[in-house]
């Protein structure tokens, strides 16, 4: 009977961890460290479900809400597509020299159930859902959905950790005011986070900005001492980008830091599937280096938003988003 090693990185003892062809019972849960990872039920990072783990420490949850989108919806399908593409990942992160699966009890928490017809109800569902994960001892990583989801998440984070620092990756500032007569939408969440006192402006860093809608837009940033690192600034940092950013982040060293990552931060060549693509952005390599630069910070949560699979090309955006998610868990301080 033919058998195979089922773990390409850690299976040192050839006599152990072997399986037999045709064992479908074995294949319903297939981890990232398993060469059969293109099979099995897809979960975020091919992690077990929350119900399968005793003491989960990192909870990844889908937030399939795109009712905050101004023009181009579709990101409600983001969590599903990103789960599907996590089969490309493996366990060991060679760039950072870590195996995040060994440092954390990572679980897939399923999706927050919400109403596509009510921004108000969905706001409450997201806030309560994230609060619940934190209460259970998990660092929450939320997969959108449009960028509106970051606002109720920040409220839940603030309720536990108090005032936090925020690093915001995006092509846009998301500090717009009313739109179609509505105060709350995916382009105004950062303004609300600052105005509500969830984060102080001088503890907020925005990275990748390249679309400024009018000449007064950055006045809000000056008034609130918000640091802006534009896409051009990033490009000028060159190949030493990771170290330069790490240096810039040092001022947040003693703070609790929350990271919000809009996939439109990345150039549409690498991430075409998003509702508000802006050319002139970072490459996929530069985007991953930006995440790696977060290592060492006291990170209390992440979100990854605005992946809109209906606009994808050969699943490029889902592939990148899965890798971004993997880099996120790779920079978290050990939680178990």
- Chain positions contacting Mn ion, by CB under 5 A: 147, 170, 174, 262
Question: How many whole angstroms separate alpha carbon 28 and alpha carbon 25?
Answer: 6
Nearer to Mn ion, 46 or 186 (CB): 186
Task: Please state the closest distance from residue 189 (CB atom) to Mn ion, in A.
Answer: 7
Which token pair is 284? Answer: 């996929």
Q: Which residues pair with 167 in a beta bridge?
A: 205, 259
Nearer to Mn ion, 98 or 304 (CB): 304
Question: How many whole angstroms separate alpha carbon 118 and alpha carbon 152?
Answer: 14
Task: Please state the closest distance from residue 225 (CB atom) to Mn ion, in A.
Answer: 20
Task: Please state the closest distance from residue 260 (CB atom) to Mn ion, in A.
Answer: 8
Give the contacts of 34 (CB within 8 A, at least 6 positions apart). 6, 7, 46
Which token pair is 311? Answer: 């606009």
Nearer to Mn ion, 83 or 147 (CB): 147
Is beta strand 139-144 parallel, antiparallel or unpaired with respect to 58-63?
Answer: parallel
Sheet of 298-305: strand order equals 106-111, 58-63, 139-144, 298-305, 256-262, 165-169, 204-209, 227-230
Question: Which CA distances in Å does 332 have to 66, 67, 241, 280?
Answer: 27, 30, 20, 29
Question: How many whole angstroms separate alpha carbon 275 and alpha carbon 312?
Answer: 11
Task: Please state the closest distance from residue 107 (CB atom) to Mn ion, in A.
Answer: 27
Nearer to Mn ion, 91 or 278 (CB): 278
Nearer to Mn ion, 255 or 274 (CB): 274
Nearer to Mn ion, 277 or 309 (CB): 277
Give the contacts of 33 (CB within 8 A, at least 6 positions apart). 7, 8, 9, 10, 90, 91, 101
Task: Please state the closest distance from residue 151 (CB atom) to Mn ion, in A.
Answer: 11
Tell me, rounded to whole angstroms, the distance of Cα 326 from its chain centroid.
Answer: 9
Nearer to Mn ion, 133 or 304 (CB): 304
- What is the 3-class SS of 310-336, one letter each residue? HHCCCCHHHHHHHHHHHHHHHHCCCCC
Task: Please state the closest distance from residue 213 (CB atom) to Mn ion, in A.
Answer: 13
Task: Please state the closest distance from residue 129 (CB atom) to Mn ion, in A.
Answer: 20
């Amino acid at each position: 009977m033919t058998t195979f090693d089922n773990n390409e990185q850690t299976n040192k003892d050839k006599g152990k961890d072997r399986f037999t062809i045709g064992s479908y019972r074995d294949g319903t849960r297939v981890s990232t460290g398993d060469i059969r990872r293109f099979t099995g039920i897809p979960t975020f990072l091919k992690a077990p479900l929350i119900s399968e783990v005793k003491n989960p420490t990192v909870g990844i949850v889908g937030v399939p809400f795109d009712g905050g989108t101004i023009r181009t919806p579709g990101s409600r399908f983001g969590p599903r597509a990103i789960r599907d593409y996590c089969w490309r990942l493996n366990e060991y992160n060679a760039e950072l020299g870590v195996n995040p699966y060994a440092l954390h009890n990572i679980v897939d928490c399923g999706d927050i159930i919400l109403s596509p017809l009510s921004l108000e109800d969905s706001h409450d569902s997201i806030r309560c859902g994230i609060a619940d994960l934190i209460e259970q001892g998990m660092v929450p990583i939320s997969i959108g959905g449009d960028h509106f989801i970051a606002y109720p998440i920040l409220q839940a984070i603030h309720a536990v950790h108090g005032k936090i620092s925020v690093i915001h990756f995006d092509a846009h500032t998301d500090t717009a005011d009313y739109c179609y007569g509505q105060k709350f939408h995916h382009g105004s969440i950062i303004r609300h986070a600052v105005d509500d006192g969830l984060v102080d402006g001088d503890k907020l860093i925005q990275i990748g900005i390249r679309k400024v809608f009018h000449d007064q837009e950055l006045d809000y940033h000056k008034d609130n001492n918000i640091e802006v690192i534009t896409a051009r600034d990033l490009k000028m940092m060159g190949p030493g980008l990771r170290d330069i950013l790490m240096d810039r982040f040092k001022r947040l060293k003693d703070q609790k830091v929350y990271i919000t990552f809009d996939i439109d931060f990345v150039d549409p060549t690498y991430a075409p599937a998003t509702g508000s693509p802006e050319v002139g952005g970072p490459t996929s390599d530069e985007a991953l280096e930006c995440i790696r630069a977060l290592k060492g910070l006291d990170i209390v949560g992440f979100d990854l938003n605005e992946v809109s699979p209906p606009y994808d090309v050969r699943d490029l955006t889902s592939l990148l988003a899965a890798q971004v998610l993997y880099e996120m868990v790779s920079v978290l301080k050990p939680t178990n």
